[in-house]
Amino acid sequence: MRRLKTPPALVGALGLLGADWQAALRRLARLVRPSLGRLERRFLQELRVLGLDPTQLRALRAVTPGAAATLLCERRSVAAFLEQVDYNGRRLAKLNLPPSTVLGVLSRYNRRLAAELRQLAPQETEVLLPACRQLDACVAITLNNAFYQVREAETTAFFELGRAELESRDEAQLLARSERVLRRYCQARAARILFADGRATLPCLRSRPRYLDLERCPKELLLEPGWRGRYRAAWSVPLPAQAGPAGIMQFAFAKEYRWLPREIQLLEAAGESCRLACVKARLVEELAAREQQVRALAGHMLQVEEAERRRISRELHDEAGQLLLYLRLHLERLEGVVSSESPEVAAGLAGARQLLEQTIVEIRRLLADLSPAVLEQLGLEAAVRQLVTRFRRLYSLPVDLRLSRLGRLPSGIETVVYRLVQECLSNVARHSSARAVMVSLTRDDRSLGLQVQDDGVGFDVEEALARPGSFGLAGVRERVALVGGACAITSRPGRGCTVSIELPIPPPERPGKRPRRGHGSAAGRRARRSVPRG
């Protein structure tokens, strides 16, 4: 004999009904069977007063003691009846009947059944009525559990939709995850969500939900024409918006499956949430794309700035610098010519030569600031040492310089680090009133760390960053962000300032991975063979 598999949710309810109780219920079913028709008719008359529709009436009739008596008389088990109660309880929840209404209706039925039992077998009421009450308790437990399952499924669906919104990288991934969540909720075989948004015209778009029989409906009503022949039915649910439907959701089922009111209500609410989430995701994507464009433009402007610095440096060195050196030599020659004949003129020429020499020194300093040749020739370590030495000489500030073995880095990274050190030291000189400065540069295989610390007057970081017209710290952070680094600025009034920066070092390109044209490649070999000899 095949044993009936009882769902875990019904085990607790069945535990209240032992073998003696079930035997009493079978005895009760045999006694009231002739009266079930009359009880059902009176029961339906009372339900019509409540204004219930036929679907709600069918679900309620399936959970009454009369339904239990019918199954028991057909030699079915109490577990089978509780499974029927569990199924119809979920339908009642999706039909928007509150548990209090359902239990109130069942209480009326139980009172009529008890009165009928007292007339049919008054001598057995002391045994049969407690069994009936025990069954009522099992039905109440099962109904509460069924209502809870429906609410839990709804809560899980909305939770997973919210999680999909938070975790999705873009609109396409968000739509795919939302489709999976709602397909599981509806127990559908396939799902499709599509937005109109002025980008496409949807011939299947309607303002109200529609049930589609896939064997009869036109293909134009489907988002996926391939569903015909594979599935039996589909739900088509529009996505509401202020200016009319903004899109549509469709769910395919392997058999005929009609929706219930609460399912459509959840899908409409979920569709609105999904639509708004997709709009937000699209805006985030557009914002990220524009931010990327702005960053690319900023990076390009920095490259242009460096190129312009080098151009100005070359012109100052090649044109103005050479002219100033020629002028100094000319003044020295004139000074030697007139020194014996006119000492006063010679003294004037000597003063002019000294001013010219100071100008040459200043131009050399400007050249070093604009485009330090040592950075290109000897690398970052030597350039930072030169920069710190010049800072000590100009501002008479002690600088503790700590450098690890940096080696050569990509030229772009070296330029960025040099400018960061230059900007940080410039900020210290202009604003900090510090007595000592520490500059530290460290490197590992993947990153380079820079820290500039002073013991100056300090400041409020948020206020300084928000101050209009202040670009020093903002420029530091922007340069760091452009190369994918991280920047932390720590300061308090009277406590100095610490700028900590970490920059990623791009991995070196593997030699030989892409052979140069004309050497190792097949195209190069063909080119060499095509060159005429002789």
pLDDT in tens, 114-161: 888 888 878 777 778 888 888 888 889 899 999 999 999 999 999 999
Average pLDDT over residues 492-515: 77
Phi-psi region of 197 (alpha: psi -120 to 50; beta: other; left: phi over 0): left
- The alpha carbon dihedral of 158, 159, 160, 163 has a sign of positive
* In the chain, domain spans: 8-156, 171-284, 379-504
The answer to whether 171-284 and 379-504 have equal CATH topology is no
C-alpha span between 77 and 61 (Å, rounded):
18
Could you tell me the strand order of the sheet in which 233-239 lies?
190-195, 247-253, 233-239, 210-213
Nearest to 187 by CA among 253, 112, 233: 253
pLDDT in tens, 184-199: 999 999 999 988 765 5
Does the pLDDT value for residue 329 go beyond 90? Answer: no
Does the pLDDT value for residue 492 go beyond 80? Answer: yes
pLDDT in tens, 212-241: 999 888 888 888 888 988 999 999 998 876
C-alpha span between 257 and 211 (Å, rounded):
9
The whole-chain average pLDDT of the chain stands at 81
C-alpha span between 328 and 349 (Å, rounded):
10
Going by pLDDT thresholds of 50, 70 and 90, the confidence category of residue 28 is confident
> Does CATH place domain 379-504 in 3.30.565.10?
yes
- Chain centroid, CA 198 distance in Å: 25
The predicted model scores a pTM of: 0.62
Q: Are 454 and 496 in contact (CB under 8 A)?
A: yes
CATH topology of domain 171-284: Beta-Lactamase (3.30.450)
